[in-house]
A and B are shown apart, each in its own frame.
Chain A
Amino acid sequence: MSELSSVDWSRAQFALTAIYHFLFVPLTLGLSFIMAIMESIYLKTGDAHWKKITQFWMSLFAINFAIGVATGLIMEFEFGTNWANYSWFVGDIFGAPLAIEGILAFFMESTFFAVMFFGWNKVSPKFHLLSTWLVAIGSNLSAFWILVANGWMQYPVGMYFNPATARNEMENFFDVALSPVAVIKFLHTVASGYVIGALFVVGISAWFLLKKKELLFAKRSMVVGATFGLITSLFLAFSGDESAYQVTQHQPVKLAAMEGLYKGESRAGLIAFGILNPNKQLGDNEPEFLGDIEIPYMLSLLGHRHIDAFVAGLDDLVYGNPAHNIPSASERIANGKIALQALSDFRDAKKIGDATQMNESEAILQTHMKDFGYGYFEKPEQIVPPIALTFYSFHIMVSLGMWFIALFALVLFFIFKRNITHYPLVLYAALWSIPLGYIAAEAGWIVAEVGRQPWAIQDLMPTHIAATHLGGGNVALSFTLFAILFTVLLIAEIKIMLRQISKGFEGGH
């Protein structure tokens, strides 16, 4: 099999394992804080009902956590197994946050997880509460470091390219760790986890109310869940706005794909709803949409914080737009090829010990370094990600995000101002919004990861160069094994979870 199919299988495998993993991570991120809040209320009030409520949600947390750990293990090693070239090319920068994640976060999570579950009768109540908070903090710290690593791939900073080792080397740790892309990515991702945690608690509580079971426990849980959900879903929208701004600044091709924007414009509108024209090609004059609803000026405002600002479209970015100082992809490809040639010249000069030639080649290389990765492409159109997938994922994510704000507000209104048990429609809406949370989160990741194609590291390394030379057959087999194993585990998880929920708050743990 060709190496191309090996790359495709590696992408499929990474997507599969990441999508599975992210079915479990957000609930861990969100539910851990909700449990910590509930246990804090228990300690403050001394009301034993709150202890039962905390323990019920903890029992569900444990079921989810176990499979989250299982699916997470492979993520740590998959960079090496399937993306070995990537791991060398940027390992000097990318490895550090992964290691720090292990040292700072994973031990905290795993140590205090044991205390949280087995320590009710073994440690003092305060130490137990502290452990619950530390599990929440540990999971979120873990998210921070892995998202620092991911943010760096989207916007590589704080490094220089060393031609002698043919890799990027870290120059400033704080530039990497505190990169604005990394920070906002962290905030937006954990916020999505908080919202999913809240949707989970509110939805399951709604189920109990619909069944007219466990009314006191369910209502109390719902109040905590919906309050937490309303605050965090508003924050999710705010961080999403900032995230889109960062994408516009650093990944304009992704932004154009997210919005289906082909021809750039000033005072650009934001597509609230749209159906893409399947016949539309880069550079032609076909309409972009079969139908759409646009909010005027909003895209300029979102992307550049100014309604008059010009937002680049795919045609501008692929074919260039001199009026707005946007180079064409062809120019960048030419620059990239110069950089690759300079690297090769550097190596030749090094072999014969020609220091002057080495210096000259390195100077040429560094001048063209920002377009280094483009050198691996032949056609300008290759720099465009799958547009439809990116566009629809983005719009599904945003629409669902808006719905969650409305839902939490509705639930709180009906709890405090009406008797919510008399409004089954609201309760059903809450229940059926649980899967919507997961759909929104996965859609968000598709925007982030499919939208940055064809890059593994923005502008530096294309995905097809990053992959290990494994042969498609090997990865097709491992993909299948992962698909089977993770699906079996997911079925087990869902079955156990549903049974545990049906046992209710008094059902033991």
Chain B
Amino acid sequence: MFELLSFLQLQQLWWMIVSLLAGLFVFLMFIQGGQTLLFSLPENEVEKSMLINSLGRKWELGFTTLVLFGGALFAAFPLFYATSFGGAYWVWLAILFCFIIQAVSYEYRKKENNFLGQKTYEMFLYINGSLGVILLGVALSTLFSGASFHLDENFFVQWDTNLRGLEALFIPQNYLLAFSLFFLARLSAGLYFLSNINHASLHVRIQKMLLKNTLLFLSFFLGFLAWIFTKEGFAYDALGVVSIEAYKYLSNLLALPVVAVMILLGVVLVLVALYLGIFKANVHGIKVMGLGIVFAVMGIFLLLGLNNTAFYPSLSALQSSLTIENSSGSHYTLTAMSYVALIIPFVLAYITYAWYAMDKKSIDEAEMSDASEHHY
């Protein structure tokens, strides 16, 4: 079936899959968002434990999605994997360090004799949720702002700054996406806690937090949209020649109405979810939010890679810019991987089922004191 698709169609299909993974990952960042609330939201140790245990049963899904995101990029767009990870070395390593410390913190935090102490592990979680997300946002934003690299005749990357990716931190516009993600993650965390933790006074504090963070999120997100829709983009022609084009992302939005609807729908769903959370403390807000985030993020990613757009522009050697056509795996590999991807709906189904089975009953204070349960 997939063999019949043209090379370009397969490349587009895989860009859609990568976009979907990006959407799912941003949704799962509610775990990171929740980690930034550990010091401000709870009023006592039991409440904090409830938050951590609520997040702790999900953190691995986010982590796994990040790993899969890396693997899918490697398989589908190996030149991006090689160029960006090898080139922007320090940004990616900094992100990885932020996630490495997350992985041990849930399990080790409350353990006796844990060497670093409970507070350190909680700080690790906070760093992962804040710095990790902001750095990731900056790194993703370079897909719009560009990076300084060129490829040699073997397609081996040469990075053109000594900062090896950290230079992205000095481009102010990159923080628009970074902080949008940061506040969005806190918002979805709030909605997730409303659904997963049964605690009246915590719910009231969450509603207040949601309201404040909504305003902050909207300021950064609208700024981000204004930036990308007014900035020039990087287009390529039938021969693969890359050129700078004014309002490229805006014209992509107009040229791809399905994507435009997707983004609009996503944003509306996010707003509806926030309304449900802030004004109704509704337990289903997180589901609406999840859908909204996946739609919106996927749509934004599609704007980046489709319609003859270079999704990883090079500022120092325009013709080295990466497009879905010049950076992808071969027709054979994309076909083989497409068959493998057929299993994704099945994977999503068992995750949903397991999640449903585990979350039938919300977390409450009584559960935290039940010695027969495993706790973080």
* B61 lies within 8 A of chain A by Cβ: yes
Contacts of A118 in B (CB 8 A): 57, 358, 373-374
Secondary structure call for the B interface: helix
Complex contact B104–A67 (CB within 8 A): yes
Complex contact A73–B72 (CB within 8 A): no
Complex contact A110–B61 (CB within 8 A): yes
Contacts of A106 in B (CB 8 A): 64, 67-68
* A120 lies within 8 A of chain B by Cβ: yes
Complex contact B92–A99 (CB within 8 A): no
Determine, out of A392-400, A417-425, A435-443, A491-499, the stretch whose residues face the partner at the interface.
A491-499
Mask, A1-40, CB within 8 Å of B = 1, is: 0000000000000000000000000000000000000000
Determine, out of B112-120, B282-290, B306-314, the stretch whose residues face the partner at the interface.
B112-120
Contacts of A474 in B (CB 8 A): 89-90, 164
Complex contact A119–B97 (CB within 8 A): no
B111 touches which one: A115, A119, A478, A499 (CB < 8 A)? A499
If A127-B357, A500-B111 touch, does A85 touch B72 (CB 8 Å cutoff)?
A: no
Contacts of A499 in B (CB 8 A): 111-113
Q: How far is the CA of A106 from the CA of B72 in the complex (A)?
A: 13
B87 touches which one: A65, A84, A95, A495 (CB < 8 A)? A84
CB distance from A21 to the nearest CB of B (A): 11
Q: How far is the CA of A131 from the CA of B341 in the complex (A)?
A: 23
Complex contact B155–A77 (CB within 8 A): no
Q: How far is the CA of A106 from the CA of B340 in the complex (A)?
A: 14
Restricting to A167-187, which residues have a CB under 8 Å from any CB of B?
A: 167, 169-171, 173
- Which residue among A59, A67, A84, A496 has the maximum number of chain B CB atoms within 10 Å of its CB? A84
CB distance from B110 to the nearest CB of A (A): 10
Determine, out of B228-236, B246-254, B256-264, B326-334, the stretch whose residues face the partner at the interface.
B326-334
Contacts of B158 in A (CB 8 A): 469
Q: How far is the CA of A177 from the CA of B135 in the complex (A)?
A: 36
- Which residue among A76, A91, A170, A470 has the maximum number of chain B CB atoms within 10 Å of its CB? A91
CB distance from B291 to the nearest CB of A (A): 20
Mask, B318-343, CB within 8 Å of A = 1, is: 00000000000110110011001101
Complex contact B82–A88 (CB within 8 A): yes
Q: How far is the CA of A89 from the CA of B329 in the complex (A)?
A: 11
* B187 lies within 8 A of chain A by Cβ: no
Q: How far is the CA of A82 from the CA of B64 in the complex (A)?
A: 21
Contacts of B341 in A (CB 8 A): 103
If A347-B153, A474-B164 touch, does A115 touch B67 (CB 8 Å cutoff)?
A: no
Restricting to B99-113, which residues have a CB under 8 Å from any CB of A?
A: 99-104, 106-108, 111-113
Q: How far is the CA of A152 from the CA of B175 in the complex (A)?
A: 41
Contacts of B68 in A (CB 8 A): 99, 102-103, 106-107
Restricting to A85-113, which residues have a CB under 8 Å from any CB of B?
A: 85, 87-89, 91-96, 98-104, 106-113
With an 8 Å Cβ cutoff, the count of chain A residues facing the other chain is 86
CB distance from B54 to the nearest CB of A (A): 11
Contacts of A498 in B (CB 8 A): 113
* B157 lies within 8 A of chain A by Cβ: yes
With an 8 Å Cβ cutoff, the count of chain B residues facing the other chain is 78
Q: How far is the CA of A83 from the CA of B343 in the complex (A)?
A: 30
* A363 lies within 8 A of chain B by Cβ: no
Complex contact A488–B116 (CB within 8 A): yes
Mask, A395-439, CB within 8 Å of B = 1, is: 000000000000000000000000000000000000000000000
Q: How far is the CA of A89 from the CA of B81 in the complex (A)?
A: 12
* B227 lies within 8 A of chain A by Cβ: no
Q: How far is the CA of A470 from the CA of B86 in the complex (A)?
A: 8
Q: How far is the CA of A164 from the CA of B187 in the complex (A)?
A: 48
If A95-B329, A106-B67, A171-B332 touch, does A81 touch B114 (CB 8 Å cutoff)?
A: no
Restricting to B168-224, which residues have a CB under 8 Å from any CB of A?
A: none
* B46 lies within 8 A of chain A by Cβ: no
CB distance from A164 to the nearest CB of B (A): 11
CB distance from A213 to the nearest CB of B (A): 18
Contacts of B104 in A (CB 8 A): 66-67, 70, 489, 492-493
* A504 lies within 8 A of chain B by Cβ: no
Q: How far is the CA of A88 from the CA of B343 in the complex (A)?
A: 26
Complex contact B373–A121 (CB within 8 A): yes
Complex contact B78–A114 (CB within 8 A): no
* A325 lies within 8 A of chain B by Cβ: no
Complex contact A470–B103 (CB within 8 A): no
Q: How far is the CA of A110 from the CA of B175 in the complex (A)?
A: 32
Q: How far is the CA of A219 from the CA of B92 in the complex (A)?
A: 48
Complex contact A170–B332 (CB within 8 A): yes
* Chain A: CB-nearest residue to B121: A492
Complex contact A84–B70 (CB within 8 A): no
Complex contact A114–B354 (CB within 8 A): yes
If A81-B85, A496-B112, A496-B114 touch, does A76 touch B71 (CB 8 Å cutoff)?
A: yes
Determine, out of B34-42, B295-303, B344-352, the stretch whose residues face the partner at the interface.
B344-352
Complex contact A91–B78 (CB within 8 A): yes
Q: How far is the CA of A175 from the CA of B60 in the complex (A)?
A: 32
Restricting to A113-164, which residues have a CB under 8 Å from any CB of B?
A: 113-115, 117-123, 127, 131, 162
Q: How far is the CA of A58 from the CA of B373 in the complex (A)?
A: 12
* B268 lies within 8 A of chain A by Cβ: no
* A388 lies within 8 A of chain B by Cβ: no
Q: How far is the CA of A118 from the CA of B103 in the complex (A)?
A: 17
Contacts of B97 in A (CB 8 A): 481, 485
Contacts of B164 in A (CB 8 A): 470, 474
Restricting to B55-80, which residues have a CB under 8 Å from any CB of A?
A: 57-58, 60-61, 63-64, 66-68, 70-76, 78-79
* A79 lies within 8 A of chain B by Cβ: yes
Q: How far is the CA of A495 from the CA of B116 in the complex (A)?
A: 10
* A74 lies within 8 A of chain B by Cβ: yes
Complex contact A166–B154 (CB within 8 A): yes
Q: How far is the CA of A27 from the CA of B113 in the complex (A)?
A: 21
* B145 lies within 8 A of chain A by Cβ: no
Q: How far is the CA of A481 from the CA of B107 in the complex (A)?
A: 22
CB distance from A187 to the nearest CB of B (A): 22
Known: A102-B64, A103-B347. 6 other contacts (CB 8 A): A67-B104, A102-B72, A118-B358, A166-B155, A169-B329, A499-B113
Q: What are 26 A-B contacts defined by CB distance under 8 Å?
A: A63-B107, A69-B60, A72-B67, A73-B99, A73-B100, A82-B86, A84-B156, A87-B78, A94-B74, A95-B75, A95-B329, A96-B329, A96-B333, A99-B68, A109-B64, A117-B374, A118-B358, A120-B372, A166-B154, A167-B155, A468-B86, A468-B157, A470-B86, A488-B116, A495-B113, A509-B374
Q: Which 6 A-B pairs have the closest CB atoms?
A: A84-B86, A91-B78, A80-B85, A102-B68, A95-B74, A110-B60
- Residues of B near any A CB (own CB < 8 A): 57-58, 60-61, 63-64, 66-68, 70-76, 78-79, 81-87, 89-90, 92-93, 96-97, 99-104, 106-108, 111-116, 153-159, 164, 329-330, 332-333, 336-337, 340-341, 343-344, 347, 350-351, 354-355, 357-358, 360-361, 370-374
